[in-house]
Amino acid sequence: MMKNLFSLEGETAVVTGALGKLGPVWIEVLLDAGASVFAIDLPAVPVSEPFRQLESRYGKTHLTLSRADVTGRESLESACRTCIERYGVPGVLVNNAGIDAPPGSNGTGHRLEQIPFEVGREILEVNTLGMFLTTQVFGTPMLSEGSGSIINIGSLYAGVSPDGRFYDHIESDPPFLKPPMYGASKAAVINLTRYLATLWAGHGVRVNALSPGGVLGGQDSSFQRKFCERVPMGRMAVSEDLFGPLLFLASRASAYLTGTELVVDGGFTAW
């Protein structure tokens, strides 16, 4: 009984930003739970090694990579038609595509007062408007079916501001800044999640957000130390920490949950 609550056997799931850092994490969870996954990313993005490993492990029968732009309705509509033809109407949509600027040491960037308008606009267009457009396109057939789970990937920084001290050791002129529009775009994603959840609840489509905290992935040792000192659990998240929360939101285990932001941050925002 309990195992069946988390089963996605026979379901079709769509994941955007499939070739990025977290895309393969969500895809693995969905495939392992029995879903077929229709993965989406930009034409110019190379196929990552984690994605290739998933293709090798699960086979291309249950995993399809489609090239589309989350800010382009025509390409998304074409992808949606292909998805339905290949696997059927999606029951799960993971809006994962986004632009971020992780801590680095490339020595480039802008001072706050010099950030070009276009930089902020691009982040908002992809992270917020792209999520909304993808939901419009793939959510419409869900509404027709009267069921579905949409999971918008938020961020720790949707609710709190980045701590500049995490980055002050990075040699960069000007000093490294987390893009201001990143957190703003993710905060907008959370609000849109609530908006869509209340609008579509009566149509059988649930809409929730999953906001990871810092996820381990090549950050330098100084950043890791400073970040972990701020986390009650004393460590950054690893991929396995995100498996359960994603599966919970995608499956019938969360059948009475909509309009919620599930923050997976090791207690970071509890302090």
Neighbours of 206 (CB within 10 A): 24
Distance CA 11, CA 116 (A): 43
Distance CA 252, CA 7 (A): 8
Q: What is the mean pLDDT of residues 107-130?
A: 91
Q: What are residue 12's DSSP bridge partners?
A: 36
Helix (H) or strand (E) holding 132: helix 130-145
State yes or no: pLDDT of 10 exceeds 50.
Answer: yes
Q: How many helices (H) and strands (E) are present in the chain, helices listed first?
A: 9, 7
Distance CA 157, CA 253 (A): 27
State yes or no: pLDDT of 173 exceeds 90.
Answer: no
Q: Find out whether 41 and 17 touch, Cβ atoms under 8 Å.
A: yes
Q: What is the mean pLDDT of residues 224-250?
A: 98
Please, which pLDDT band fits residue 65 given cuts at 50, 70 and 90? very high
91 CB-side CA count, 13 A: 19
Please, which pLDDT band fits residue 101 given cuts at 50, 70 and 90? confident
Q: What is the mean pLDDT of residues 219-236?
A: 97
Please, which pLDDT band fits residue 89 given cuts at 50, 70 and 90? very high
Quick one: pLDDT at residue 161? 95
Distance CA 184, CA 7 (A): 34
Q: Find out whether 206 and 197 touch, Cβ atoms under 8 Å.
A: yes
- What is the bridge-based pairing of β-strands 148-153 and 205-212? parallel
Of 23-32, 45-54, 107-116, 231-240, the range with the lowest mean pLDDT is: 107-116
Q: What is the mean pLDDT of residues 108-130?
A: 93
Quick one: pLDDT at residue 104? 54
Quick: pLDDT tens for 185-222. 999 999 999 999 999 999 999 999 999 999 999 899 99
Give me the CATH number covering residue 79. Answer: 3.40.50.720
Q: What is the mean pLDDT of residues 106-131?
A: 90
Quick: pLDDT tens for 70-81. 999 999 999 999
CA-based nearest residue to 236, from 268, 192, 201, 197: 268
Quick one: pLDDT at residue 105? 44
Domain range for 46 is 2-270
Q: Domain count of the chain?
A: 1
What's this model's pTM, rounded to 2 decimal places?
0.96
Helix (H) or strand (E) holding 206: strand 205-212
Mean of all residue pLDDT scores within the chain: 95
